[in-house]
Structure 1
Amino acid sequence: MSDTPHLLVAWHSRTGAARALAQAASDGAGDGARLLSADTVEPGDLLDAGGYLFVCPENLATMSGLMKEMFDRCYYPVLGRIEGRAYATIIAAGSDGAGAQAQIDRIARGWRLRRVAEPVIVNFAAQTPEEILAAKTVPETALAQARDLGEALAEGLAMGAF
């Protein structure tokens, strides 16, 4: 990897949707990204990155537990050390995604991160237990949006725009 600050794409997925969206964003960013599942992210990964894309499902109106565990594990070790860095989010939602989005934004405010793109919420309208638990197929339009976001974030980091 070059000396250009890279984008950390941290993700968790239960049904495949958030994983596909994270992969698409990483593909869009190319060599400017590092894709890590939330359960493997360590404080050093956050310190090494120039910006962040957090991708997860909404579960029971909140971010997924493994994504929350990543924040719990890494919050204090990087507090005061990543202020001002860029971040963005993609939420794979069964309803509106607002709860998961609000939780991540609150953590980002505590870290003093700077949101540089509007939240992306991909709503699968899964409301029955069968729909909620089923593997998801992400529409190509949402994958393209994720690729574009990854590309824009990596380019912004490379240009020093954020």
Structure 2
Amino acid sequence: MSGDARRLLIVHHTASPTLQEIFEAVRRGATTDEIEGVEVVTRAALHATAVDVFEADGIILGTPVNIGYMSGALKHFFDTIYYPCLEETRRLPYALYVHGNSDATGAVRAVESIAAGLGWQQVHQPLTVIGAPTKDDLSACWELGATVAATISPA
């Protein structure tokens, strides 16, 4: 990547084969050859740090729904980065994908609330996949990844 490349960070908790399939579709969209000048970096939510966020020009968050809420791993990520990133990452473009077996409203609301508190800018509507992902769901995941990458692309 050249010096003017932008960095897209994908922070995810991929705890099942279904979430792996969704994550891979998002990553394929973010790394499509049609978008130039974007380096995609992935971090498991339990290992992502404030430094990762500081170095990012955009972020995609991915989580399963656990007991009506985001995963504990994604919550840990937010607990770790919230105050260090509070002033430094305002207006950071972000998007969210969520997988659940039924209702994902609570997980989406929780992530949106924290991201709003950080001052991050939502650049794609939250993507919710319920149950086994369909071909249309996976296409929407690809689109989410490509949209965020295109949003931060210097080209």
TM-score by length of 1: 0.85
Aligned ranges for residues 3-152 of structure 1 at < 5 Å? 3-30=4-31, 32-124=39-131, 137-152=132-147
- Note if contact 2:124-2:147 (Cα within 8 Å) is conserved in structure 1: no
> Aligned residue for 1:156?
151
TM-superposed CA distance for 1:15, in Å, is 2.0
Q: Distance in 2 between matches of 1:147 and 1:16?
A: 17
- Note if contact 2:63-2:70 (Cα within 8 Å) is conserved in structure 1: yes
Question: What percent identity do the matched residue pairs reach?
Answer: 28
TM-score by length of 2: 0.88
TM-superposed CA distance for 1:155, in Å, is 1.1
- Map Cα deviations across residues 41-79 of structure 1 (whole Å, 9 max, x no partner): 011100111111101100100001111111111111111
TM-superposed CA distance for 1:159, in Å, is 4.2
- Map Cα deviations across residues 63-108 of structure 1 (whole Å, 9 max, x no partner): 0111111111111111100001111110001112110001100110
* Moved segments of 4+, more than 6 Å: none
Q: Distance in 1 between matches of 2:89 and 2:17?
A: 30
Q: Report the structure, 1 or 2, having the larger helix content.
A: 1
Q: Distance in 2 between matches of 1:72 and 1:16?
A: 26
